[in-house]
Structure 1
Amino acid sequence: MSDISATHMVRSLTVTDRSARTRLAYLDGWRGLSIALVLIGHFFPVPGINLGVLGVEFFFVLSGRLMAEILFIERYPLKKFFKRRFARIYPALLVFVIVAMIALSGTFIAFKWKAALTALTFTYNYAGILVTRAGALDHIWSLCVEEHAYVILALISALVSRRNRVIPLLVTLALLAMANGAISYWVFDLDYETTYWRTDVHIASILLSASICLLKADGRLPAVLMGTHVALAATVGAVVLFLDPVPTPIHYLLAVPLLALAVNVLDFNTGYLTGLLSSSPMTMLGLWSYSLYLWQQPFYKFVYEQGSNPWPMLAGAFACALCSYYVIERPAREWLNRNW
């Protein structure tokens, strides 16, 4: 997914040097784990748990942490912030939509121009519910939520200058979004997509993580939550709560807050989790994650709806993603950031 890159130089909040800026490999690896869960969940589903849905939550809580650091802690200039978001996201998205429309013409997941337009305008998560959708674009709902979160958090950072007011606001909005989801699903009996594709529900994941990040930055996160094994325990707890027998709203009422805590206290973990996340395979997956996120969907649809062999489909997704990353995503981002 396309949230703020974990490969960016972000503010380290370690005890030894809180003002240092360093590359945090385990955040790259967290993104790598996120896309790995999505790929496994789509191409090799595990009975009893939807790893694809869980992987999206891993992406969202990382996005919340990084946006909080950049917008509220570093006070990054908003004009530059949005330029860099555009440079990272839009060129690869535009090429994906155009190429997929041409390549998939006449297939069972053929594009509709209206669906493509809503993907390119970041309205697919609502239009896919209310107007029209195309199978190869269904994953764009999560990108839409993220883009809307960029705008909302940027507006809050511009309008609310004092951080002690930002945190209660973010928590309140997150709780309202979580309640909105539970009521939509349980009371109004809406299905998963009609409930959890919506920004007014799913933004809770990002806002909760941003809130915890700011509490940590202000030294207001309880010490008991910053122990060595808290991140691992919270992550395992979240995975357990995402098991199929657990009601869907509980995933978002209990499991997502655990994930939001986990990604924010990784700084204090010196065990197996950060070691795994900092490994080369995980950080490389993190580097390619946005292009993989874009390109896996059409190939996944052939596996899910046509029963195609998942291994060639996964190989095809990787081939397209690597071409996208090295030919489109990275060169376009570097050129735009340098010249715009």
Structure 2
Amino acid sequence: MNDQHVDYLDGWRGLAILFLLIGHFFPVPGINFGRVGVDFFFVLSGFLMCRLLFIKEVPIATFYQRRISRIFPAFFSFVNVVLIYFLLTGKLIDWTETGVASLFLNNYFPGKVGHAVMPFGHIWSLSVEEHTYIFLTLVAVVVRKQYLTARLALAIAVAVSIALGLSYWMSFPAQKLEFELWAHSEISAYGILFSGLLLLCLQKVKIPILPALVYPVLIVFGWTCYWWSMPIPLRGFVGVGLFAVVLNILSTAPPLVKRCLSWWPLKKLGLWSFSIYLWQQVFYLAHHREGLPATIALVLAIVCGIASYYMIENPARHWLNQRWANPAPLHGWNKVVSNDVK
């Protein structure tokens, strides 16, 4: 999807899944590193998707094809394997949970919070991503018709997200806010939108080269916003905002910072991160509900994620992308249809 591969962005993705795995299998008291990992994913997603849509101006159809090829094969394979396992073992299947997760709606319909039957609770973050992709493509259509600028559109969206988040915070109890409302796309999309807005605002700004220590310090400051007693908006807007700032100034970071993020194990984790993210939930629940030791659960999550990447995610993505780029002729019928497609 990119004209050139940037190793340190793979490393950022690797940090995201690493933080999430720490939060799920070896939690640090006081800080929800699982949520830190998700927000690391969100700011990276905003950076990459807004670069594609508003700087490179990738065709909307191509954008959706690439998103579908990346997400759908691994995701729906995961859902189907889980369902088959539940059927074979006689476990109770909650079809409502399965349905809303499959439709990327479970961030609005989470079921019984904290008592989910299916291992699909983590799909809330994919739901936020999918909803935001649709919103960003609508913005791109409007921007390409020159009705308004991308920066103005994203600035308005960021302001609305903050306003809604603050209104929810003042109107609802912390429990409902933390486990239900803050998963809604209009709130959690802030990280994606703000990171994309920063990208566009910094396009014509000469980003200074800062001392290497500044980057980890800003991330640690972001972590402090996730401390359990901090107000949720501080975490959701300030903490995420600091992560977005760090990501957006990495292009001028000292070589030491880029080398650390380009460390081979981090890059590999980043490469496998989506499939690992899908599968870790199964073993996260097995650890917390059934007493599977954390180390074994973590190893199984990573192994299944790597297997999913090499057996499903990567080959399916390449096959679909090649097929869409060079559609195979379907005898004479394809000659008629292909003109309409183009």
With normalisation by structure 1, the TM-score equals 0.88
Q: How does 1:90-239 map to 2 (within 5 A)?
A: 90-105=72-87, 110-128=92-110, 134-161=117-144, 162=146, 165-189=149-173, 190-217=176-203, 219-220=204-205, 223=207, 227-229=210-212, 230-239=214-223
Query: Is 1:87 equivalent to 2:69 in the alignment?
Result: yes
Following superposition, the deviation at residue 119 of structure 1 comes to 1.6
1:317 paired with 2:306, answer: no
- C-alpha distance in 1 between matches for 2:112 and 2:31: 28
- Superimposed CA distance per residue, residues 67-102 of structure 1 (whole angstroms, 9 cap, x where no aligned partner): 111000000011011011101100111110011122
Cα offset, 1:252, TM superposition: 1.3
Distance 2:91 2:273 in 1: 23
Whichever residue aligns with residue 47 of structure 1, its letter is: P
Q: Does 1:42 align with 2:28?
A: no
CA distance in 2, matches of 1:213, 1:108: 49
Q: 1:154 to 1:133 in 2, by over 3 A?
A: farther
Task: Provide Cα deviations, 1:172-226, integer angstroms capped at 9, x if missing partner.
Answer: 2112212212321332223312111100111111000000001112x147x46x6
State whether structure 2 residue 204 is matched by structure 1 residue 251.
no
Alpha-carbon distance in 2 for matches of 1:108, 1:302: 16
| 1:11-50 matches, cutoff 5 A | 21-50=3-32
Tell me which residue corresponds to 1:242: 226
Displacement of 1:306 in angstroms is 2.9
Which AA in structure 1 matches 2:120? Answer: L
CA–CA separation in structure 1 for the residues paired with 2:33 and 2:131: 24
Matched, 1:293 2:277: yes
State the SS of the aligned residue for 1:160: helix
Structure 1 contact 109–135 (Cα < 8 Å) conserved: no
Give the RMSD, CA atoms, in angstroms: 2.3
Q: Percent identity?
A: 37
Relative distance call for 1:164 and 1:240 in structure 2 (3 A) is farther
- Structure 1 residues 42 and 290, CA gap change in structure 2 (3 angstroms): same
Structure 1 109/253 Cα, relative in aligned 2: closer, same or farther at 3 Å? farther
CA distance in 2, matches of 1:192, 1:289: 25
* Correspondent of 1:61 among 15, 22, 43: 43
Q: 1:106: how far off?
A: 8.3
Residues 15 and 266 in structure 2, CA contact (< 8 A), matched pair in contact too: yes
Give yes or no for contact 1:185–1:192 (8 Å, CA) kept in 2.
Answer: no
Higher mean alpha-carbon deviation, 131-140 vs 48-57, is at 131-140
Q: Which has the larger radius of gyration?
A: 2
CA–CA distance in 2 between the matches of 1:98 and 1:109?
14
| CA apart distance, 1:298 | 1.0
> How far apart, CA to CA, are the structure 2 residues paired with 1:214 and 1:113?
42
Q: Which runs of 5+ in 1 are unaligned?
A: 1-7, 10-20
Per-residue CA shift, 1:129-184, capped at 9, x if unaligned?
Answer: 59995441000000000011111001101112359722122122112212212321
**Displacement of 1:316:** 1.3
Mapped contact 1:64–1:208 kept (Cα < 8 A) = yes
CA displacement at 1:339 relative to structure 2: 1.0
Change over 3 Å in CA distance of 1:254–1:108 after alignment to 2: farther
Aligned partners of 2:97 and 2:118 also within 8 Å: no
CA–CA separation in structure 2 for the residues paired with 1:37 and 1:89:
21
Code of the residue aligned with 2:217 in structure 1: it is: A
- Give unpaired runs (5+ residues) of structure 2: 325-342
Secondary structure of 1:126's counterpart equals coil
Q: Say whether the 8 Å CA contact 1:31–1:289 is kept in structure 2.
A: yes
Contact in 2 for aligned 1:33/1:282 (Cα 8 Å): yes
3-state SS of 1:22 partner: coil
Q: CA 1:183–1:130 in structure 2 vs 1: closer, same or farther (change >3 Å)? A: farther
* Whole-angstrom CA distance in 2 between matches of 1:339 and 1:55: 33
Mapped to 1, the partners of 2:259 and 2:300 lie a distance apart of 30
State the distance in 2 between where 1:110 and 1:25 align: 43
Alignment partner, residue 17 of structure 1: none
